[in-house]
Chains A and B, each alone.
Chain A
Amino acid sequence: MPVPEAPDGGAPPYISARGLTKRFGDFVAVAGIDFDVARGEAFGFLGPNGAGKSSTMRMIGCVSPVTGGTLRVLGLDPVTDGARIRARLGVVPQEDTLDLELSVAENLYIYGRYFGLPRRVIRERTAELLEFVQLAERANDLVEPLSGGMKRRLTIARSLINEPDVLLLDEPTTGLDPQARHALWDRLFRLKQQGVTLVLTTHYMDEAEQLCDRLVVMDKGAIAAEGSPRQLIDAYSTREVVELRFGEGEQQDVSGKVDGLAERVEVLPDRLLLYVANGDATLAEVHARGLAPSSALVRRSTLEDVFLRLTGRTLVD
Chain B
Amino acid sequence: MGSIALRSLDYWLIRYRRTWRGSAASTVLTPVLFLAAMGVGLGSLVDRSGSAGNLGGVSYLAFLAPGVLAATAMQTAAGEATYPVLTGTRWVRTYHAMIATPLSAAEVFTGHLVWMVVRVAMTCLAFVAAMAAFGTLHSAWAPLALPAAILTGLAHLTPVAAFSARLRNDAGLAALFRFGIMPMFLFSGAFFPVSQLPALLRAVAYGTPVWHGVALCRGFTLGQGLTVGSALLHAGYLTGWSAVGFVLARRSYQRALVR
A113:B10 contact, CB within 8 angstroms: yes
B4:A116 contact, CB within 8 angstroms: yes
Does B55 make an interface contact (CB < 8 A)? no
Does A83 make an interface contact (CB < 8 A)? yes
Q: Pick the interface stretch among A87-95, A226-234, A302-310.
A: A87-95
B101:A115 contact, CB within 8 angstroms: yes
Does A64 make an interface contact (CB < 8 A)? yes
Give A162's nearest chain B residue, CB to CB: B101
Give B259's nearest chain A residue, CB to CB: A64
Interface of A is mostly: loop
Does A100 make an interface contact (CB < 8 A)? yes
Question: In the bound complex, what is the Cα–Cα distance between A64 and B11 (angstroms)?
Answer: 24
B259:A111 contact, CB within 8 angstroms: no
Does A102 make an interface contact (CB < 8 A)? yes
A102:B18 contact, CB within 8 angstroms: yes
B94:A97 contact, CB within 8 angstroms: yes
A97:B97 contact, CB within 8 angstroms: yes
Which residues, 1 to 33 on B, are CB-close (under 8 Å) to A?
4, 7-8, 10-11, 14-15, 18
Does A63 make an interface contact (CB < 8 A)? yes
A97:B10 contact, CB within 8 angstroms: no
Contact with B along A112-123 (1 / 0, CB 8 A): 011110000000
Q: Which chain A positions have C-beta within 8 A of B259? A: 24, 64
Q: A101-B15, A101-B18, A102-B18 are in contact. Are A63 and B10 (CB under 8 A)?
A: no
Does B93 make an interface contact (CB < 8 A)? yes
Does A61 make an interface contact (CB < 8 A)? yes
A97:B4 contact, CB within 8 angstroms: no
Q: Which chain B positions have C-beta within 8 A of A163? A: none
Question: In the bound complex, what is the Cα–Cα distance between A263 and B96 (angstroms)?
Answer: 49
Q: A109-B10, A114-B8, A115-B102 are in contact. Are A65 and B258 (CB under 8 A)?
A: yes
Question: In the bound complex, what is the Cα–Cα distance between A98 and B4 (angstroms)?
Answer: 21
B15:A99 contact, CB within 8 angstroms: yes
Which residues, 89 to 132 on B, are CB-close (under 8 Å) to A?
92-94, 96-104
Question: In the bound complex, what is the Cα–Cα distance between A63 and B98 (angstroms)?
Answer: 10
B94:A83 contact, CB within 8 angstroms: no
Does B257 make an interface contact (CB < 8 A)? yes
B101:A110 contact, CB within 8 angstroms: no
Q: Which chain A positions have C-beta within 8 A of B103? A: 83, 114
Interface of B is mostly: helix
Q: Which chain A positions have C-beta within 8 A of B93? A: 95, 97
Does A86 make an interface contact (CB < 8 A)? yes
Does A106 make an interface contact (CB < 8 A)? yes
Interface size class of A (residues with CB under 8 A): 20 to 34
Q: A65-B258, A102-B15, A106-B14 are in contact. Are A114 and B96 (CB under 8 A)?
A: no
Question: In the bound complex, what is the Cα–Cα distance between A116 and B94 (angstroms)?
Answer: 17
B104:A110 contact, CB within 8 angstroms: no
Does A82 make an interface contact (CB < 8 A)? yes
Determine which residue in A64, A82, A83, A95 has the highest number of CB atoms from chain B within 10 A of its CB, and name it: A83
Q: Among B7, B18, B258, which residue has its beta carbon within 8 angstroms of that of A114?
A: B7
Give B94's nearest chain A residue, CB to CB: A99
Question: In the bound complex, what is the Cα–Cα distance between A64 and B93 (angstroms)?
Answer: 16
Q: Which chain B positions have C-beta within 8 A of A87? A: 101-102
Question: In the bound complex, what is the Cα–Cα distance between A280 and B33 (angstroms)?
Answer: 86
Determine which residue in B4, B14, B101 has the highest number of CB atoms from chain A within 10 A of its CB, and name it: B101
Q: A61-B100, A114-B102 are in contact. Are A99 and B92 (CB under 8 A)?
A: yes
Q: A82-B104, A83-B102, A110-B14 are in contact. Are A63 and B94 (CB under 8 A)?
A: no
Give A63's nearest chain B residue, CB to CB: B99
Q: A110-B10, A116-B7 are in contact. Are A86 and B15 (CB under 8 A)?
A: no
Q: Which chain B positions have C-beta within 8 A of A162? A: 101
Q: A63-B257, A63-B258, A97-B94 are in contact. Are A113 and B11 (CB under 8 A)?
A: yes
Determine which residue in B93, B102, B104, B257 has the highest number of CB atoms from chain A within 10 A of its CB, and name it: B102
Give A102's nearest chain B residue, CB to CB: B14
Question: In the bound complex, what is the Cα–Cα distance between A89 and B8 (angstroms)?
Answer: 18
Give A91's nearest chain B residue, CB to CB: B100
Give A84's nearest chain B residue, CB to CB: B102
Q: Which chain A positions have C-beta within 8 A of B11? A: 99, 110, 113-114
Give B11's nearest chain A residue, CB to CB: A110
A100:B92 contact, CB within 8 angstroms: yes
What residues of chain B have their CB less than 8 Å away from a CB belonging to chain A? 4, 7-8, 10-11, 14-15, 18, 92-94, 96-104, 257-259
A-B residue pairs in contact (CB < 8 Å), sample of 10: A63-B99, A64-B258, A86-B102, A99-B11, A101-B15, A101-B18, A102-B18, A110-B14, A111-B97, A113-B11
What residues of chain A have their CB less than 8 Å away from a CB belonging to chain B? 24, 61, 63-65, 82-84, 86-87, 89, 91, 93, 95, 97-102, 106, 109-111, 113-116, 162
8 tightest A-B CB contacts, nearest first: A114-B101, A97-B97, A110-B11, A91-B100, A83-B102, A97-B93, A87-B102, A113-B10
Q: A65-B258, A110-B14, A114-B101 are in contact. List 20 more A-B contacts (CB 8 A).
A: A63-B257, A64-B258, A83-B4, A83-B104, A84-B102, A87-B101, A97-B96, A98-B97, A99-B92, A99-B94, A99-B97, A102-B15, A111-B97, A111-B101, A113-B10, A114-B7, A114-B98, A114-B103, A115-B101, A116-B102
